[in-house]
Homo-oligomer: A and B are copies of this chain.
Amino acid sequence: MANVVENVELLPAVCDEYGGIIVEMKEPMNPTVFHSMLISSMEQWKLQGKKGVWMKLPIGLVNLVEMAVKEGFWYHHAEPEYLMLVYWIPKTYNTLPINATHRVRIGAVVMNDKREILVVQEKIGRFHGTGIWKIPTGALDEGEDIFRAAMREVKEETGVDTEFMEILGFRQLHKSFFQKSDMLFLCMLRPLSHDIQKQDSEIDAARWIPFDEYAAQPVSQKHDLFRHMNDVCLATLEKRYTGFTPLAIKSYFGDPLSYLYLNKHGLKSQNGIAHI
């Protein structure tokens, strides 16, 4: 009978909560030995009615990748130190979750009470050498909250300490980076210090300039994105605009602490007290 599984060693694996299997290879292994163990393991998992198989191969075990692909595995995602391969056993539609699709960045609007905005000129990128003053921008680190990233980037690029106020809006752009999308959150921050200490490695110049001078730059008039952002900044200055503010929410189902971004103003009840 084909159903008889020989008494061979199987790959180290644990079950996941979706009827799948997670193989975590840590120790070096001869590719031929790995190949035969993989074949035996696959037979076993099929008999057990398993669905998805996840195989995490550290970069040190790169010599095993070819064998896994030979057995029908394909790439799910990769990080510098590992490659995650997957396989779907049933004949049905594959319900494996998709890989991360977005990179998240912040743009930081820091305005003082003299109606000046904190701006920089960068050493690299699209605007290098154009003389255009732009707001500090940057990508979120892995696992970083949006509001923390905004404060960190301003501090790194200009040395100015800030308090996070709100998210004014955001832009979703596709195919920004290979097939990946970009999400840029425009954040409003209040300065807590004034003196500028620019970052030498990435920043050519940093200054406080009058908001009207910033908004009057030709680039701001020419491009929809900049023009709308300036309208939003102005509306915020004139206190007729409200964005989203972060609200810490307690862990549930074992998830870590996270933040919900809402228009708190809209949650105020008739008597003006926020419910939250």
Contacts and interface: CB of A to CB of B under 8 A. Distances in A.
A69 B78 contact: no
A172 to B, nearest CB: 6
B249 A225 contact: yes
Interface stretch (A35-43, A140-148, A187-195, A203-211): A140-148
B143 A266 contact: no
Given A80-B76, A101-B100, A262 B66 contact: no
Interface in A197-252: 201, 222-225, 228, 231-232, 235-236, 240-244, 247, 249-250, 252
Interface in A71-106: 74-84, 93, 95, 97-104
A80 B74 contact: yes
Contact of A62 (B65, B145, B250): B65
A156 B247 CA distance: 32
Contact of A99 (B74, B100, B169, B235): B100
Contacts of A256: 173-175
A1 interface: no
Contact of A262 (B69, B169, B173): B169
B178 A84 contact: yes
B79 A75 contact: yes
Interface in A103-144: 103-104, 124, 126, 139-143
Contacts of A255: 173, 176
A88 to B, nearest CB: 11
A183 B260 CA distance: 10
A137 to B, nearest CB: 13
A124 B19 CA distance: 11
A274 to B, nearest CB: 10
Contacts of A263: 169, 241-243, 263
Nearest to A69: B62
A44 interface: no
Contacts of A224: 249-250, 252, 260
A34 to B, nearest CB: 13
A63 B62 contact: no
A10 interface: no
A18 to B, nearest CB: 7
A98 B138 CA distance: 11
Given A259-B171, A262-B228, A263-B169, A75 B104 contact: no
B69 A66 contact: no
The 5 closest A-B pairs by CB, nearest first: A241-B266, A78-B78, A75-B78, A224-B249, A169-B262
5 contacts: A65-B66, A97-B177, A98-B139, A100-B100, A101-B142
